[in-house]
Amino acid sequence: MKILTNFPYSPFTRKAGSGQRFLQNILGLRNLGHEILLWSIDHESKYKWLPGDIKLAKQEGIKIHLTKSWELPLGLLENIDLIWCNYYNFFFLFQEFEGPILIDGHDILSVNEQINEFFKQHLTKIGTKNTFRYHPEIFNPPLAPFPILEDELNAYRQCDLVVTISQEETVRLEQNGIKTKWIPYQNFEEFPLSTRSGPPIFTGSANLHNLFATDFLGEILIPAIR
């Protein structure tokens, strides 16, 4: 099949996070014999496409279509068999496509945004550093789950399938009548604790979730163990 997918920045040369997860998806589909056309935007940012990214994509057999904005180029949908849409808020770009569309959520985004906002309300700045140190209540978040907003659910209801990254997400979406498929990305049984060494690693340190994890480790967990 010829598969059209989208991603807001280059996944090549990125070693962690959703970019790496997306890259493994498209390389896996390529290995199954599918032709991958990746639509992305050419813009100035720390995540912009570099010449080396284009070169790597070509070496991996991935075709790249770069535009200055998210306006569907004429002819991009021609001869496409399947759309693998990344993030629900990009679904509207492909609504004129008459074939099957699946959405890869990379987390339930509306829930993720609410968690981020919850965290931001408890941040304290010390010099140039942000910390949750003076808000221990952040480590006891509300027991009720954050709701999935209707905009996200409506996008999922219009597509053929939603790819989830956890069993909990799968259950929550299925409870809302969404057809899902869970793709586990790492089998931790292959990496038992006895084989791991070195300090804990939190990738993407600017992310609020990782700041939460670092503060939890340094302010709660390690003192408790000591």
pLDDT score recorded for residue 78: 95
Both structure tokens of 114: 């609410």
Give me the chain's average pLDDT, please. 86
User: For residue 213, is pLDDT > 90?
Assistant: no
Mean pLDDT of 86-115: 92
- CA–CA distance, 64 with 120 (Å, rounded to integer): 36
Q: Are 29 and 2 in contact (CB under 8 A)?
A: no
User: For residue 190, is pLDDT > 70?
Assistant: no
Beta bridge partners of 164: 182
Question: What letter does residue 96 receive in the DSSP assignment?
Answer: T
**Continuous H helices in 46-104:** 51-59
User: For residue 30, is pLDDT > 90?
Assistant: yes
Q: What is the model's pTM?
A: 0.81
pLDDT score recorded for residue 201: 45
Q: Which residue has the tokens 């006891």?
A: 140
